[in-house]
Chain A
């Protein structure tokens, strides 16, 4: 639950203005809005990387800012949009750091942990052998994105924040990501909050869409009600071209698995 949240990078210049929000496990929430509308800032504020200047963020009644770091990481995790360049380390090592909040300072990898890392890597289409020999700084953008998804899968927080998770992914892996998000929400009852530019994905995947403008929520509701032409024009200053399939000239390509129940 978020209450009257206000936060930003510089004191006196908040990016997010008195934002309130309540959500439960099992929901997929999309954050939509133009560049600079505060989507990423809101997500960073939720993880307490940017501490809130006023207002409260509560997860199951506990304030995020007051949680010990490892408890917080078990409650809320984030896939940042533009990660810093990591120091060279093997892919596998990188992924298993996702375990930190559960495993602690020392203590090696148990066979069970090792198994979980193996399964996670396979799930995200990562070669186990290459995981040992290959370093994260040698990966392509899409591979690195998958490695980071594998890491957050191991971290397994109750709330997953994904900042533009489809960036760098080609469409087979986009559908893998879509399956991943659905599984997290539907089966594991996690709350997923994702900042997303692709309105098709927001429309098909999210249960609820928050439209942000200048750090405030302009609309909040089911995607059909929020992603309306008039609202989009108001927020983006430009109307989107909306097509139904029958009007689409030539062929229309959509990511497999995007429509719920299809192909998964």
Chain B
């Protein structure tokens, strides 16, 4: 075989690229109710609805994929995902509170996005604060704190939901499961700089990420400033996951799946893992969006449901392969 790019991997990249191109074309030629119009849509529809929807899917997928990869490396666990630090629960709580209590009072178009972002921020602040207060310094403890805080916030969101007026719940529920419907360019412009900055930062520090993969003590011994790298990694991952969640709601499993799809074919350093995972994530989300339009014409299943169904099956497949868990 030839180096880190054996033929199987080249085939995988070509196939993946093909899927992305097909998804892009099909997305642009399918209307919101899942009808194929073969390119007959008016330029206005394309420009105002389908193109921003597609690009937002690619951007959010890329964001979730990089966030997942960063946390998988930091925790040296291929099953870590971007929401592990409580980001999604925080965002959900923010969204639920907005929909049930504030939305009827304030006619604000981006209330969902902003309340989601604030909720995600709140969750992360609680996680960091709690982690410090308990005195847990190492990375694995952050997962435990994140899981605990996430469970608490999630329960709170559920508590508000069950008490609420059933007519109002639907908006919140659809949001909680993630959707790209009715998104404008503004959301795209809010997310794109975050993705660009995160790509630049994580590529620059890619060797530090490679070192973190050795375990924190070995990384320290080889000259990495571990506490700083840890904070940087968590910071970038949380901003990525938080902004993605604020933009489109909770899209589960993409951050878990995308890096592992790459890992199934390659063993490569982060310099390659980061862009390839981003592309994989950027393919998965528009694919799920396209599928949601076809599966339930006119009703649109939230994409989070589709990614989670695919993700749970995928989870079992990667566990069985043993490749990412290092078991043979």
Query: Is the CB of B109 closer than 8 A to any CB of chain A?
Result: no
Query: Is the CB of A243 closer than 8 A to any CB of chain B?
Result: no
Q: What is the CB-to-nearest-CB distance from A117 to chain B, in angstroms, rounded to a whole number?
A: 14
Contacts A70-B223, A132-B3 known; A90 to B211 CB distance under 8 Å? no
Q: What is the CB-to-nearest-CB distance from B132 to chain A, in angstroms, rounded to a whole number?
A: 16
Q: Which residues of B contact A73 (CB under 8 A)?
A: 221-223
Query: Is the CB of A98 closer than 8 A to any CB of chain B?
Result: yes
Q: Which residues of A contact B214 (CB under 8 A)?
A: 83-84, 86-87, 94, 97
Query: Is the CB of A248 closer than 8 A to any CB of chain B?
Result: no
Cα(A97)–Cα(B269), bound, Å: 10
Q: Which residue of A has the minimal Cβ distance to B269?
A: A93
Cα(A35)–Cα(B309), bound, Å: 50
Q: Which residues of B contact A83 (CB under 8 A)?
A: 214-215, 217-218
Q: Is there an interface contact between A89 and B215, defined as CB atoms closer than 8 Å?
A: no
Cα(A70)–Cα(B211), bound, Å: 13
Q: What is the CB-to-nearest-CB distance from B76 to chain A, in angstroms, rounded to a whole number?
A: 6
Cα(A85)–Cα(B215), bound, Å: 7
Cα(A36)–Cα(B168), bound, Å: 62
Q: Which residues of A contact B267 (CB under 8 A)?
A: 88-90, 93, 135
Q: What is the CB-to-nearest-CB distance from B208 to chain A, in angstroms, rounded to a whole number?
A: 7
How would residues 87 to 120 of chain A score, 1 for a CB under 8 Å from any chain B CB and 0 otherwise?
1111001100110110011100000000000000
Query: Is the CB of B317 closer than 8 A to any CB of chain A?
Result: no
Q: What are the nearest 3 A-B pairs in CB distance?
A: A84-B215, A73-B223, A101-B223
Seed contacts A49-B220, A69-B224; 11 additional CB < 8 Å A-B pairs? A69-B225, A77-B222, A78-B221, A83-B214, A85-B215, A87-B76, A88-B326, A89-B213, A100-B222, A105-B207, A133-B6
Contacts A90-B267, A93-B269, A105-B204 known; A84 to B217 CB distance under 8 Å? yes
Q: Is there an interface contact between B213 and A86, defined as CB atoms closer than 8 Å?
A: yes
Query: Is the CB of B314 closer than 8 A to any CB of chain A?
Result: no
Query: Is the CB of B183 closer than 8 A to any CB of chain A?
Result: no
Q: What is the CB-to-nearest-CB distance from B269 to chain A, in angstroms, rounded to a whole number?
A: 6
Query: Is the CB of B73 closer than 8 A to any CB of chain A?
Result: yes
Contacts A88-B267, A135-B267 known; A80 to B73 CB distance under 8 Å? no
Interface size on A, residues (CB 8 A): 37
Query: Is the CB of A137 closer than 8 A to any CB of chain B?
Result: yes
How would residues 209 to 250 of chain B score, 1 for a CB under 8 Å from any chain A CB and 0 otherwise?
011011111101111110000000000000000000000000
Query: Which of B's residues lie within 8 Å of A, judged by CB?
Result: 1, 3-4, 6, 72-73, 76, 78, 204-205, 207-208, 210-211, 213-218, 220-225, 263, 267-269, 323-324, 326, 328
Q: What is the CB-to-nearest-CB distance from A13 to chain B, in angstroms, rounded to a whole number?
A: 15
A–B complex contacts, Cβ < 8 Å, 13 sampled: A49-B217, A68-B225, A73-B222, A77-B222, A86-B213, A87-B76, A88-B263, A90-B268, A93-B210, A94-B214, A97-B214, A100-B222, A100-B224
Q: Is there an interface contact between B218 and A84, defined as CB atoms closer than 8 Å?
A: yes
Query: Is the CB of A72 closer than 8 A to any CB of chain B?
Result: yes
Partner of B4, one of A72, A90, A138, A151: A90
Q: What is the CB-to-nearest-CB distance from B319 to chain A, in angstroms, rounded to a whole number?
A: 15
Q: What is the CB-to-nearest-CB distance from B139 to chain A, in angstroms, rounded to a whole number?
A: 11
Cα(A62)–Cα(B192), bound, Å: 45
Q: Which residues of B contact A48 (CB under 8 A)?
A: 220
Q: Which residues of A contact B211 (CB under 8 A)?
A: 97, 100
Q: Which residues of A contact B328 (CB under 8 A)?
A: 138
Cα(A155)–Cα(B207), bound, Å: 15
Q: Which residue of A has the minimal Cβ distance to B324?
A: A88
Contacts A87-B213, A89-B213, A100-B211 known; A105 to B205 CB distance under 8 Å? yes
Chain A residues 39-97 with CB under 8 Å of chain B are 44, 47-49, 68-70, 72-74, 77-78, 80, 83-90, 93-94, 97
Q: What is the CB-to-nearest-CB distance from B305 to chain A, in angstroms, rounded to a whole number?
A: 31
Cα(A23)–Cα(B293), bound, Å: 72
Cα(A27)–Cα(B100), bound, Å: 72
Q: What is the CB-to-nearest-CB distance from B4 to chain A, in angstroms, rounded to a whole number?
A: 6
Q: Which residues of B contact A49 (CB under 8 A)?
A: 217, 220-221
Q: Which residues of B contact A106 (CB under 8 A)?
A: 204, 207
Cα(A93)–Cα(B3), bound, Å: 11
Contacts A106-B204, A133-B1 known; A80 to B218 CB distance under 8 Å? yes
Q: Is there an interface contact between A85 and B76, defined as CB atoms closer than 8 Å?
A: yes
Q: What is the CB-to-nearest-CB distance from B15 to chain A, in angstroms, rounded to a whole number?
A: 21
